[in-house]
Chains A and B, each alone.
Chain A
Amino acid sequence: MTILPYIGRRLLFIAPQLLGIVLVSFFLVKSIPGDPAVLMLGPTATPEAIASLRSKLGLDHSLPVQFWIYLKDLAHGDLGTSWQTTRPVLEDLVQRFPATLELVTLGLLVAVLIGVPLGLASAFREKGIIARIADFYGLGAGALPDFWLALVLIFVFYTLLQWAPAPLGRIDLAVIPPPPVTGMLTIDSLLAADWDAFRSAAAHLVLPVLTLGLVNAGPILKMTQSTMEKMLQSDFSRYEVLCGIPHRLVVRHALRNALPSVVTIISVLYGFLIGGAVLVEIVFSWGGAGQYAVQGVLNSDLYPVLGFVLFSAIFSLFVYLMVDLIYLAIDPRIGH
């Protein structure tokens, strides 16, 4: 099987890529002004206290040495500590990353459910009314600011219609969250058969998932539509029509050929949204990983930022590996 050595080779490349990412982000993040020691101790701190805290934090070493220390800690699974939450970054991320993952995965699912059928419909009937709506939507969705759409949805469904819960996090304050297994509230509450928690978690997910889904359906729709059109006008599709192959079958074959492009854009969006859902997380006070990183930047709290970049980079690389494996399965031309 040529697959195992292929995966092996890819995994081998991931290590230096990650190293590069960590290197760049370390130096970038360190260039953000703001002395963490000063920020932690507050404005009344004495110079001696600041100096001793700086030396305790290792901030009086030179940058390359600090980087080396960071790498060593990384090898032991220590991503540093956040001075805002006063907890290890690893712990914070383990708690917050599943929140983002749950949100982004469901949002992308909704985006695919909206975008793919609309894209296909508009590729088939180029002059029909569905095609016009799909065209408009494809262009418009990419123009919508996601944080603004979130606000509009909150206004309509919470303020006006009172259907949705208040945008204050992932679950009602009155409801006890289920014991954490995966960190994703929906799955955990199902595993614990806790229906109250499940209903609350699901209700809180509706608006943010809808926001992400509506906005990201646009690029998926456009890619599906343009790829299907190209396939239906391609030489081999015309040849199949020439051979009298019924329309249904021609379409099915064209779909199969269009799959790689659609899969590509879904995977690109997936990797992008882990950090790109930040604004939606902030609007809904989601407590996700992106929000955590942004707060880190704005408050010169550096280790959360580094930790988040690392997590999201690993996730992206993993997604790309999965996608390449899917390509190998679909397209026989690759690997020859």
Chain B
Amino acid sequence: MSKVLSFLRIVGRIARVRPRFVVGYVIVLVAILAGLLAPAIAPYSPIEADPTQFLEPPSWKHLFGTDAVGMDIFSRTIYAPRIDLTIAVVGTLLSAVAGSFIGALVGYYSTGRGVRVWASYAVMRAADVLQAFPVFVFAIALVASLGQSIQTVVLAIAFVNAPIYLRLMRAQVMSIREMRYVEASLVAGLSDLRTIMRHIVPNAMGPVLAQLSINVGWAILLTAGLSFIGAGVRAPTPEWGSMIAMGFQNVVTGQWWPSVFPGLALAITVFGFSLVGLSIEVVADPVKRRALVRDLARVSLCAAPGAASLSAKSTP
């Protein structure tokens, strides 16, 4: 019990010093909970339509109103995270794992003997070509060629984002590789692969972790965008992007709720992920971490008992 209390106290201190971090984690938590608990809390089914109730404005009966087909927007909005978050998280994790792995290898073998150097150079040039593609068109083409389904959307996201982690990991590995403890590990007889896994990867993880959360946000946007033009998740599966698309014409004629509410939910969720990513970035970057620690110290000084005498001593 006391552990929970002290944890909460730390959270409270962080909230005072950097409120945005707490906001970010709360938003992400709410989104995840919404997806998990949707079947329990949604007032209506997300895919059943009541044709007599189409385009009803927001009211107590339908919190967010209904769309042109008669489906309750509130229920669909809180069901949507199941699809959006799953696709985004799985896709991003896939891209991070694959991209980081290849990137670590490429970085490690970027100098040295023979064939491996050429191979890593070739992989980098291939990544260049891949990144020269217009991202959106590439994603759509992938989905179109592999068949439109949730799995292919995940694959498209993974493919599009992998080069980011590839480059990130490669840069990190190239700089860490020069460090002494890596030399020591090799001299001690560890194989290349084990050296990479044991020593290099843990030290390179910082920037990758920070990138992950922000990437999930982008992936949600990409999924929504794909669904918006009909190349992503198919109706009537509740998904924020396709909901916005379905309400498109209605907005122009004045019924704003079918598109605006899902869009708000989408924006706020992505925002939350950006904030979480920011908090990880601060912890990973020594300069920013020092600033955070300094601010936390200031706050805890005021809060701690006996601080009055301490602060009296340090002022002239």
- Chain A: residues with CB nearer than 8 A to chain B? 17, 20-21, 24-25, 28-29, 31-33, 135, 139-140, 142-145, 147-148, 151-152, 154-155, 158-159, 166-167, 272, 274-276, 278-279, 282-283, 290, 293-294, 297-298, 300, 305, 308-309, 312-313, 316-317
131-190 of chain B: CB within 8 A of chain A: 132-138, 140-142, 144-145, 147
CA distance in complex: A135, B135 (Å): 27
- Which residues of chain B come closer than 8 Å to A148, judged between CB atoms? 244, 259-260, 263, 266-267
Residue of A nearest to B277 (CB): A139
List 7 A-B pairs, Cβ < 8 Å.
A21-B133, A32-B144, A143-B217, A145-B221, A279-B225, A294-B229, A316-B132
B199 interfacial contact with A, CB 8 Å: no
Q: A20-B125, A145-B244 are in contact. Are A28 and B142 (CB under 8 A)?
A: yes
Main secondary structure of the interface of B (DSSP, over half): helix
Interface size on B, residues (CB 8 A): 47
Residue of A nearest to B260 (CB): A152
B231 interfacial contact with A, CB 8 Å: yes
CA distance in complex: A148, B228 (Å): 10
Question: How far in angstroms is the closest Cβ of chain A from B255?
Answer: 9
A144 and B137 contacting across the interface, CB-CB below 8 Å:
no
CA distance in complex: A187, B285 (Å): 47
Question: How far in angstroms is the closest Cβ of chain B from A55?
Answer: 24
Of B132, B144, B270, B274, the residue contacting A17 (CB under 8 A) is: B132
B130 interfacial contact with A, CB 8 Å: yes
- Which residues of chain A come closer than 8 Å to B231, judged between CB atoms? 294, 297-298
0/1 interface trace, chain B 255-275, chain A, CB 8 Å (1 if under)? 010011001001110110111
Main secondary structure of the interface of A (DSSP, over half): helix
A312 and B141 contacting across the interface, CB-CB below 8 Å:
no
Interface centre among B125, B251, B260 (most CB of A within 10 A): B251
CA distance in complex: A272, B136 (Å): 9
CA distance in complex: A194, B270 (Å): 44
A145 and B266 contacting across the interface, CB-CB below 8 Å:
yes
Question: How far in angstroms is the closest Cβ of chain B from A234?
Answer: 11
Interface centre among A155, A283, A309 (most CB of B within 10 A): A155
Q: A145-B224, A148-B259 are in contact. Are A140 and B140 (CB under 8 A)?
A: no
